[in-house]
Amino acid sequence: MSIPRTLLGLLEDEPSYGYTLKQRYDELFARTKNLAFGQVYSTLARLERDGFASVVGVESGEGPERRRYAITDDGVVELDTWIRTPEPATSFAQSVLFVKTTLALLSGRSPSDVLDAQRRVHLARMRELTASRAESDDVQLLAVDYEIAHLDADLRWIEETGHRLEQRRGSRRARGRS
């Protein structure tokens, strides 16, 4: 995910402080790992440097100065270009699950054990997400449906891979007996 462009998208709605942007990002997009404060502020500094965001207000208080950021016209063009540009189909081609399964196979470990364990985790997560649908608003529902679709695709891959590996193992055993 492009954190700089995502923050630009959040700034497009209204000028915000870094703290507010982090909260909003975490609420909308950080389903498993929250965004670090340091990453928010370093990203805002780069967006400002590159002319995509600007400081529109500074508040002094007991702590550090609070800077309020807004998206610039160049930032709107950058965001619009990014939103309208499709992601390469290959950007989703490698997952940790694929790597673990491949390494298990190459190392003589059981890829079936990897696939079975992941299947259990995926199914449990799908049950949680399905149950959460009833209380979800439109934005949350988009995220839930997106995650379920990806889990479903992973589960299909797990089933197909497990079946294919079992078939190959069976044919190797049959050849070994002849």
What pLDDT, in 10s, does the model give residues 7-55?
Answer: 999 999 899 999 999 999 998 888 777 899 999 999 999 999 999 999 9
SS3 label, residue 59: strand
Q: Where do the structural domains in the chain lie, given as residue ranges?
A: 3-84, 91-177
- Residue 178 is predicted with a pLDDT of 60
| pLDDT value of residue 114 | 92
What's the pLDDT at 95?
A: 76
Tell me, which fold does domain 3-84 have in CATH? Answer: Arc Repressor Mutant, subunit A (1.10.10)
- What does the pLDDT look like over 102-115, one tens digit per residue? 888 888 889 999 99
Helix (H) or strand (E) holding 32: none
Q: Region 78-88: what's the mean pLDDT?
A: 86
Distance CA 107, CA 61 (A): 58
Give how far Cα 114 sits from Cα of 101, 120, 149, 150, Å: 6, 10, 21, 18
Extract long-range pairs of 148-156: CB within 8 Å, 24+ residues apart: 151/122, 151/125, 151/126, 152/126, 154/95, 154/97, 154/118, 154/122, 155/119, 155/122, 155/123, 155/126
- Alpha carbon distance 71, 9 (integer Å): 8
Tell me: the pLDDT tens digits for 132-165? 999 999 989 998 999 999 999 999 999 999 999 9
In three-state secondary structure terms, 88 is coil
Residue 19's alpha-carbon distances to 7, 16, 43, in angstroms, are 12, 8, 13
Lowest mean pLDDT among 35-44, 92-101, 162-171: 92-101
Give me the percent of the chain exceeding a pLDDT of 70.
Answer: 93
Q: What is the pTM of this model?
A: 0.66
To the nearest whole number, what is the mean pLDDT of the chain? 89
